[in-house]
Amino acid sequence: MTVVIGFEGSANKIGIGIIRDGEVLSNPRRTYITPPGQGFMPSDTARHHRAVILTVLKEALEQAELKPADIDCVAYTKGPGMGAPLVTVAIVARTVAQLWGKPLLGVNHCIGHIEMGRLITKANNPTVLYVSGGNTQCLENLEADGNKETWDIYFFALAIIRTYPQGISFRFILGRYGNDLGTVDENGSYYSKTFA
């Protein structure tokens, strides 16, 4: 049975989860909270993560009732996210992997959310609208063959969100920009391009 420990700290929340063959064994988290009306700065967020990450790591192992020798792989959020918090988490994950003699796996933040959703819901081949500010995407898993997955990307919204900061519907964007993205045929039907 494969046991993976994953480090996530791409924004103001830091978490370390342990999964064994699809079962979540532990998932302790801490959140950096600023005073009302203030956003969180990357350097302050990274400082918070540095202050709590070893405590969260200890909690993850204790809650899962595992030792480092029981872990098969160390995973971490590689991006997208805030630079300083990502670096903090990557350094700790790399150090842990080296100290424990385990392979290290960088994970795309967006795909990580989607895969966790698939794991929890047991959804088979879902089409997902992932809404997260500049990371907004509509994704569909076309094929899963072992370790390689191909994702069908219908839409990446960063440039369009900047064009319409007041907010517009996803359906409007597909209708307006689908032809430019290669996702709407001459009859107005949606289709997709695949990027591996």
Query: For residue 180, how many other CB atoms are within 10 A of its CB?
Result: 8
| Mean pLDDT of the 10-28 span | 93
Cis-peptide, bond into residue 80, ω within 30° of zero: yes
- The CATH topology of domain 3-107 is Nucleotidyltransferase; domain 5 (3.30.420)
Higher per-residue confidence, 123 vs 129: 123
- pLDDT at site 137: 56
Predicted structure pTM score:
0.69
- pLDDT at site 132: 63
Mean pLDDT lowest among 79-88, 98-107, 151-160: 151-160
Higher per-residue confidence, 131 vs 135: 131
User: Which of 31, 6, 30, 8 is CA-nearest to residue 17?
Assistant: 6
Mean pLDDT lowest among 7-11, 32-36, 67-71, 121-125: 121-125
DSSP string, 184-195: B-TTS-B---EE
Higher per-residue confidence, 141 vs 93: 93
**Average pLDDT score over the chain:** 77
Higher per-residue confidence, 16 vs 152: 16
- Selection from 33-37, 103-107, 161-165, 167-171 with the highest mean pLDDT: 103-107
State which amino acid sits at residue 176: R
- Share above pLDDT 90 across residues of the chain, in percent, rounded to a whole number: 44
- Give yes or no for residue 151 having a pLDDT over 80: no
Domain segments of the chain as ranges: 3-107, 124-195
Higher per-residue confidence, 147 vs 21: 21
**Rounded to an integer, what distance in angstroms lies between the CA atom of residue 123 and that of residue 82?**
29
- Give yes or no for residue 84 having a pLDDT over 90: yes
- Share above pLDDT 70 across residues of the chain, in percent, rounded to a whole number: 64
